Amino acid sequence: MSLLEAVHGPRDLRALSAPQLAELADEIRTFLVGSVSRTGGHLGPNLGVVEMTIALHRVFDSPHDPIIFDTGHQSYVHKILTGRQEGFPGLRQKGGLTGYPCRAESPHDWVENSHATTSLSWAEGLAKAYRLRGEDRTVVAVIGDGALTGGMAWEALNNIAVGADLKLIVVVNDNGRSYTPTVGGIASHLSTLRTDRRYEPTLKQIKQRVRSAPVVGGALYDLLHGFKTGVKDVLAPQGMFSDLGIKYVGPIDGHDIGMMERAFESAKNFGGPVIIHCMTVKGKGFRAAEEDEADRFHAVGLIDSETGEPLTASPKRTWTDAFREAIVDIARADANVVGITAAMLHPVGLDAMARAFPDRVFDVGIAEQHAVTSAAGLSRGGLHPVVALYATFLNRAFDQVLMDVALHGQGVTFVLDRAGITGPDGASHHGMWDTSLMALVPGAHVAAPRDERRLVDALRTAVGVDDAPTVVRYSKDPLPPELPAIRSHGGVDVLASPADARVLLVAHGPFAHLAVEAADRMGAQGIPCAVVDPVWALPVNPALVELCGAAELVVTLEDGGVSGGLGAALALACQRAGVWTPLRHLAIPQEFLDHASRAEILGELGLTADDVARAIVDWALESTAAKVARTAVAEGPRAGA
């Protein structure tokens, strides 16, 4: 039996010797590469935290001592060590293990933390709660240097600094990267230690001295604290953490289990907040990951476990690919267009623009709020910023969109990738909230293009709006084929217009193709259905309201939240115009949806062509029956009846 097979929980780690721990770390890396290569997932981040996670679980008594992982994509090793090895064949698949911590899976998972920079606030709140309740528990937060670029982490540190008796340990997992290399002043401070030529020999000396020291909490802490002065203040004089009043230990080798255990033990016995700065290598132990300069295999699909080469065919052209090309052309034609990203230059497709115009693309780190208000400033300065984010991350900066961009009438374009149902990353990553949020923003313009041509047109229109926020949102799916309009009605694209159509189906974005399929099925059942695409969903086009007034039933179909979404905005516009045609909405329920493939989730929600056609047929029959009943009441009993 391998060592890994004998580990069913954290307590099984404590009887292992140092050589066995090193062997276990190798087995975990082999397991991760073999397993994640078959399911896809976050590989590089987890390869980098193997020894750190082993040390954490040997020193702290999880779940009594909460361990909170910032972002959470580096929690696979934690899952393995807390008895979930057997679930890895179903990782990120319907009914299987989630790709992030999950409270339903294990009591060892405290926070379902898949948005960055929140761990320190969770930890500070938990530590305060235990202090007030008189419980002797230590809270540990593991946060990467990438997440330290986010303002919320520093808001938490500001409060942690005044909690002198909080039993809280912050482990800074410093690998110099988020998706890509970490940017900004914080990164510069940390990298000073990483790149100083004197650091390696000094670190070696520290290791030798610590290993020869007695394992006594207070004395060892003093020793490490002294080393902190020697390394941090002498090699790179700056007091980033200690000036806040928080005890600092490090930097230490995040792949040295023994040294980390000693640091963790010392910090645990200190009785107040301690920051432990660990240096790790993202993708460690898998050569293909370590040599991947793009993102060190941050997230992978199905790959060869030996070479790291993808096993699936090259993906079809994606919406991100289309944006990547279009924004370069737009920037080339208009020198005032600039790009902003929040630590996701490559995933959102701004990398090509950054290569072509390096002075006009700004990566602000994991700081969406700053990105949006900085964009407002750029706009005020005469430029037109294009802020490219995953749709789910716009939630984090809603106040800035509302009060800094919209209130001030600044022309800022938001490009929202991964809009709608995204799939295996689960509830936190479905991009289903942005339409409901943007419908609240006065003056906002929202486009959900149905194909590449409409995407390019929407982008060109958006960067020409200089007095309001504009949004262009699209799916993570491959690009669908072009879907031409039959004609345009006042700016509304008509996609299907059968004779004597009684039902009007208003389709947004990629669901336009779904709507045309559903309309074909309805026509086969004797219920002709017209299909239109508003092109720009907000503000609601009066021509669309006019079309609604001419129909017997209107159904809206959108890849966003049903509450307060695009369909709801249309219903309100119809009411204000005195149009009382019955409206029904097909969209995503305002629920936290579990992880599964996009197709599986849409099937469960009834958002397939067959389901949509069936629902509309039922509504159409109900509408007809209600109309007959109203007519009968209005006419009264017939003569001779």
Place of tokens 């623009």: 353
Picking from 302, 297, 295, 296, the residue whose alpha carbon sits closest to that of residue 351 is: 295
**DSSP conformational letter for 608:** S
H helix runs in 75-150, sequence order? 76-81, 119-133
Instruction: Measure the CA–CA gap between 271 and 164, rounded to whole angstroms.
Output: 8
Phi and psi at residue 539, to the nearest 5°: -65, 155
Active-site pick, 112, 265, 368, 558: 368
Please, which residues bridge with residue 252 across strands?
Answer: 278
Instruction: Measure the CA–CA gap between 243 and 622, rounded to whole angstroms.
Output: 69
By CB neighbour count within 10 A (0-12 exposed, 13-18 middle, 19+ buried), where does 357 fall? middle
Active-site pick, 396, 450, 454, 473: 396
H helix runs in 168-318, sequence order? 185-195, 199-212, 217-228, 257-270, 287-290
Here the tokens at position 129 are 């709660």
Instruction: Measure the CA–CA gap between 284 and 46, rounded to whole angstroms.
Output: 9
Instruction: Measure the CA–CA gap between 72 and 143, rounded to whole angstroms.
Output: 9
Return the H-helix or E-strand segment holding 366: none
**DSSP conformational letter for 609:** H
Q: Which amino acid is at 63?
A: P
Place of tokens 């050589």: 19
**DSSP conformational letter for 640:** T
Strands in 536-538's sheet, in edge-to-edge order, are 361-363, 337-341, 384-390, 412-417, 469-473, 445-447, 536-538
Angle at 316 between CA 314 and CA 318, to 5 degrees: 120
The answer to whether 163 and 127 are in contact (CB under 8 A) is: yes
Picking from 149, 513, 478, the residue whose alpha carbon sits closest to that of residue 343 is: 149
Picking from 525, 575, 526, 524, the residue whose alpha carbon sits closest to that of residue 554 is: 575
Here the tokens at position 269 are 């016995």
Instruction: Measure the CA–CA gap between 170 and 159, rounded to whole angstroms.
Output: 13
Tell me whether residue 291 is one of the annotated catalytic residues: no
Instruction: Measure the CA–CA gap between 167 and 171, rounded to whole angstroms.
Output: 13
Q: Assign 153 to helix, strand or coil.
A: helix
Please tell me the number of Cα atoms within 13 Å of 71 on its side-chain side. 21
Instruction: Measure the CA–CA gap between 305 and 285, rounded to whole angstroms.
Output: 12
Instruction: Measure the CA–CA gap between 122 and 420, rounded to whole angstroms.
Output: 28
What is the chain's alpha carbon radius of gyration, rounded to the nearest angstrom?
Answer: 28
Strands in 492-496's sheet, in edge-to-edge order, are 487-489, 492-496, 529-533, 503-507, 553-561, 583-588
Active-site pick, 79, 282, 454, 584: 282
The answer to whether 203 and 280 are in contact (CB under 8 A) is: no
What does the DSSP assignment read for 377-389?
HHHHTT-EEEEEE
Q: Catalytic site residues?
A: 282, 368, 396
